A and B are shown apart, each in its own frame.
Chain A
Amino acid sequence: MSLSQTRMSLNDGAGTYFRSRRARVSETLWAYAFLAPSLVIFAVFVFYPLIRTAHQTFYQPGLYPDAPQRYIGWEQWTDVLGDSDFHATILRTLLLSLMTVLPALVLGLLLAWLVNQPLRGMSLFRIVFSTPVATSVAVASLVFLILLNPQGGILKVDWLTRPTPALMSVALTNVWQNLGITFIIILAGLQSVPDDLIEAAKIDGAGPWRRLRSVIIPTISPTLMFAFVILTIVSFQTFGQIDILTQGGPQDATRVIVYDIFTNRGSDPGAAAVKSIVLFGGLVLLTFIQFAALNRRVHYGD
């Protein structure tokens, strides 16, 4: 998909403007001057905290300010990685991710496909289906609280107080809130599918379903991949929904990794740091899988 292609073509447009040898040095200076603001921010507020977090995985701070840190070393890692509660947390995080990403992708595709037809009134539906984009995590969660609250909820269900349904409720909120952006991304992809491709399939006698399956989906696979990645990253970061709907309960059923880090950051900063790095590792892994998948099978022309 796009990210990898960009990498490969990074030098295509570069250096064609000011070519003179004399300008080389000045070009470099200009480049670094232009990059400097971003680099400073990234260095101070992304990479430095990341390094500090990595460092913290080997140390446990004392209780009072300025108390000496104690070196724990790899033991802190093995403690966390060997903790069955943490295994459950990781599994739960993956499960929530799965229950968020797949339904959102399928529904987003369905909605985008339906709307992307040359019928009247589609712009209205487009606005309607994009609506969740305008909802924040807080708004979406509080809105779903209305539906799901065991006392005084509209749906009269007891989901938030029982473990499995509680996790599903969080996933449902996630799906709803992310459906808007998924829909927009996939619709953008659909609109870029060349009409003649569809026409050719029609002439071949393919019905709408087959056109979707054999022509449209393969053509927009980069888009779907993009949506998949965005959704996965977002689902890994789920926090506000849990803070508002379940606070990690009932019986830890919705304690996913970010919430776990959040609640343990004060009581066990060392373990929280290990968990943060594990989360980071998960995101890195995800990115590599994405690139691998892209390089292998995504081809598209333009």
Chain B
Amino acid sequence: MNAAVIGRVATYVVLAVLAALLIFPLYVAIVFSLVDKPVKILTDPPVLLRDFNWRVYPDAFTNGDLGRYFVNSIIMSLGIMAGQLVTSVLAAYAFAFLRFPFKKVLFALFLATMMVPVEVIFTQNFQLILDLGWKNSYQGLIVPFLAFGFGTFLLRQAFVAIPSDLRDAAALDGYGHFGFLTRVVIPLARPMLATLSVFSFLLAWNQYLWPLLVADDRQYRTIQIALQSLVSTSPDKLNQGYAAVIMAFVPLFLLLIFFERQLVRGLTAGAVKG
């Protein structure tokens, strides 16, 4: 064996060990979720799957009323994602292609919103939602997040990279701003739009603090909040609690498998390379 082979084997070993460590917590959660008798989780936490029972999953889904929470999370995440795409595309277009007064100030303002995460303003924002009568409603979950500074920034980066002769060509073809945007810019920026969609969906799906405050009614509760209460209030049904955890994880994991390359490329093109 030459040194290169040894090096390669060593790399694989290191990778395998790191991968195992990284996956271990999720693996244990899966084991827990399949345990037939939840009592055993507390007395003798299983590391290996022995008495597994697939029924836990449908039971968890039914008993935990997970369907409703999933639907709420999906409505919220899709709503935020779609809204952010629209507002960010429009704003990014203005910043990339148009000249207008206070452009720098406004762009700085957009970037500045990144310094005001929901954690800073949630008390007053919540008060506002109460005043609007939006507590326990989809609009309360969605509307505050319908604009996205970072998304605007990412798209603007992509738009600026569009070759200038295309703009001239579009102008010659008689396209107005809207025509240029919809027929040239958006098709060309599709990879970045995909990246932004995934990113935006992920962030919305994973929200915790805001839905905890705004949607305390079961009817509007999101899956993230439901998970916490499933696990913490039913120690006698931990297997179902963790089945719910895994079920909340899997859709995003699938999304990740399909879009991982896209995410890497998009972030490379947008944020990292500038």
Contacts and interface: CB of A to CB of B under 8 A. Distances in A.
Check whether chain A touches chain B (CB < 8 angstroms): yes
Interface of A: 1-3, 5-7, 9-18, 24, 27-28, 30-32, 34-35, 37-42, 44-50, 52-53, 56, 110-111, 114-115, 117, 119, 121, 125-139, 142-147, 151-154, 176, 179, 184-185, 187-189, 191-192, 222-223, 226, 233, 236-237, 239-240, 243-244, 258, 261-262, 265, 269, 272-273, 276-277, 279-280, 283-284, 287, 302
A60 B193 CA distance: 45
Given A2-B274, A12-B160, A49-B125, 14 more contacts: A7-B104, A14-B97, A14-B98, A34-B93, A35-B106, A127-B257, A134-B252, A143-B28, A146-B242, A176-B25, A240-B228, A261-B122, A269-B123, A283-B115
Contact of B124 (A2, A56, A302): A56
A27 B98 contact: yes
B274 A13 contact: no
B147 to A, nearest CB: 4
Given A14-B99, A46-B116, A38 B87 contact: yes
B208 A240 contact: yes
A41 B87 contact: yes
Interface in B144-166: 144-149, 152-153, 156-157, 159-160, 164
A240 B264 CA distance: 26
Contacts of A147: 25, 28
B91 A35 contact: yes
A2 B29 CA distance: 39
A143 B25 contact: yes
B203 to A, nearest CB: 10
Contacts of A153: 45
A68 to B, nearest CB: 16
A160 to B, nearest CB: 13
B97 A137 contact: no
How big is the B interface, by class? 35 or more
B47 to A, nearest CB: 6
* Leading 8 A-B pairs by shortest Cβ distance: A2-B274, A15-B99, A152-B42, A240-B208, A136-B206, A41-B147, A188-B268, A134-B252
Interface in B228-251: 228, 231-232, 241-242, 245, 248-249
B253 interface: yes
Interface string B27-61: 01100100000000111010100000000000000
Contacts of A28: 98-101
Contacts of A146: 25, 28-29, 32, 45, 242
B240 to A, nearest CB: 12
Contacts of B29: 142-143, 146
Given A127-B260, A130-B260, A142-B228, A49 B272 contact: no
B18 interface: yes
B72 to A, nearest CB: 14
Contact of B120 (A110, A128, A185, A280): A280
B77 to A, nearest CB: 11
B98 A280 contact: no
B87 A302 contact: no
A38 B91 CA distance: 7
Given A31-B94, A138-B224, A243-B208, A114 B267 contact: no
A12 B231 CA distance: 53
